[in-house]
Amino acid sequence: MDKEVQNDYSFDIFYLIKLVLKWKWVIAGSSILVSLIVFIFTGPTFITPEYKASVIFYPTSNAKISTSLMTEPGMVRYNLLEFGTDEDGEQLLQILKSDEMKLAVIHQFNLAKHYKLDTTAGVSYYTLKNLLGKQVEVEQTEYKAIQITVFDTDPQIAADMANFIAYFAGYQKNEIQRSKAKEALAIITKEYQNELQVVDLMDKTLLKLREAGVYDYFEQSKQLNESYTLNKVRLDQETAILKVYENTKVNLPDTLIVKTRARVNGYQAAINAVKPQLDLLKKYGGIYLDNINSLDLERKKLSSLKSRFESTKLDYEQVLPMKFTINQATKPEIAARPRRGLTTGLVFLSTFLLSIITIVLIEAMPAISKKLS
């Protein structure tokens, strides 16, 4: 009994070939007919062909110009020629998928008009962003490069849009960093200007002291004190000698007393000349010392602020490319979708196999019905 059932439901390859040959016109006709219908309805009359344009680039590192080109020898510097890290790539991916990026593309290419939307009733950005999201693909390749693919009915717009998106990603990242650099520049500029005023005030104070006669406190103080001390000692000596001479002048010539008195007057005049200068140093010496000692520290601080100011200004005014472009998008020549040839071939093959399966079931139906009854 089991053997009979097995023989009833089994057939070999030769039986299948005979069956296909028996129904060949039906199989061929149905396959060709369905394929022809698919070929016609996937044509430009019914479906507008879309072209694909792609741009591929690697992100660069986030190194700043100041830390790459102006770093002192022996200090850590960054290589501007290095490819970016995974983190740099993820940052660019976030920018590429941002709403700001989509809005820039919408305005740049006037997508409401390009997609032939009814602008009289008003088109929401939500609708435009959704339509754009279906036409643009952003992904990271297995080699960590970023690929932007754009589909559009106009091949030139597809290429232009892909290149614009890649350009705007680098531009937007630069703008984000420049906005931060702008704030830093405002802060460092204010500090630098304040320090310039401090140093300038000290220089003006010292200039006034020099005009008053205080040039070098330590050197002047040394020389004036030596002069005052020397003249004071000699004055005391000559005064004592003069007193002795005056007490015994009967036995001394007048010229000796006159000369001694002249020396006393000379030493007294020298002391009188030095004393105002010493009083001047006493009056302004503290101010001079405060300014001259602080000036050295303030100038070092000013030099450091100037270096940071120039670095920050350089980072703000100069920008570096944020990507290494590997493949620039060009105008495609062949439509990417729908792929009429491939679709028609797959439909033909599917219809052919389905037709064979259907005929096999039809041929086997009488035997199955008989067996079941």
pLDDT tens per residue, range 264-283: 788 788 878 878 777 777 77
Q: Is the domain of 103 the same as that of 147?
A: yes
The CATH number of residue 334's host domain is 3.30.1890.10
Q: Is the domain of 205 the same as that of 169?
A: no
pLDDT of amino acid 45: 65
What is the separation of C-alpha 253 from the centre of its chain, rounded to a whole number of angstroms?
A: 97
Closest CA to 224 of 283, 262, 289, 280: 280
> Peptide bond preceding 338: is omega within 30 degrees of 0, i.e. cis?
yes
Domain membership flag for residue 18: no
Cα 170 to Cα 164: distance, rounded to the nearest angstrom: 10
**Chain length of the chain:** 373
Structure letter (DSSP) for residue 61: P
Q: Is the domain of 153 the same as that of 237?
A: no
Q: Is the domain of 229 the same as that of 206?
A: yes
pLDDT of amino acid 9: 44
Express as a percent the part of the chain with pLDDT over 90.
Answer: 16
- SS3 of residue 26 by DSSP: helix
Closest CA to 331 of 167, 165, 157: 157
Cα 300 to Cα 131: distance, rounded to the nearest angstrom: 59
Q: Is the domain of 236 the same as that of 296?
A: yes
pLDDT > 70? residue 151: yes
Domain membership flag for residue 8: no
Q: Is the domain of 61 the same as that of 173?
A: yes
Sign of the torsion formed by the C-alpha atoms of 75, 81, 87 and 88 = positive
For the residues 288-307, what does the mean pLDDT come to?
85
pTM for the whole structure:
0.63
Q: Is the domain of 263 the same as that of 341?
A: no
Domain membership flag for residue 59: yes
**Mean pLDDT taken over the chain:** 80
- SS3 of residue 63 by DSSP: coil
For residues 178 and 319, is the Cβ–Cβ distance under 8 A?
Answer: yes
For the residues 205-223, what does the mean pLDDT come to?
75
pLDDT > 70? residue 120: no
Last residue of a domain, which of 290, 317, 344?
317
Q: Is the domain of 150 the same as that of 55?
A: yes
pLDDT > 80? residue 225: no
pLDDT of amino acid 8: 45
CA distances (Å), origin 366, targets 9, 210, 362, 369, 373: 11, 127, 8, 5, 11
pLDDT > 70? residue 94: yes
pLDDT of amino acid 138: 92
pLDDT of amino acid 76: 45
pLDDT of amino acid 373: 64
Any bridge partners for residue 52, and if so which?
A: 151
Sign of the torsion formed by the C-alpha atoms of 210, 215, 217 and 221 = negative
Burial of 132 (C-beta count, 10 Å sphere; 0-12/13-18/19+): buried
For the residues 133-151, what does the mean pLDDT come to?
90
Residues of the domain holding 126? 49-183+320-358
pLDDT in tens, 105-114: 999 999 888 8
Domain membership flag for residue 19: no
Cα 53 to Cα 166: distance, rounded to the nearest angstrom: 12
Query: Which of 31-45, 183-197, 335-349 reaches the highest mean pLDDT?
Result: 183-197
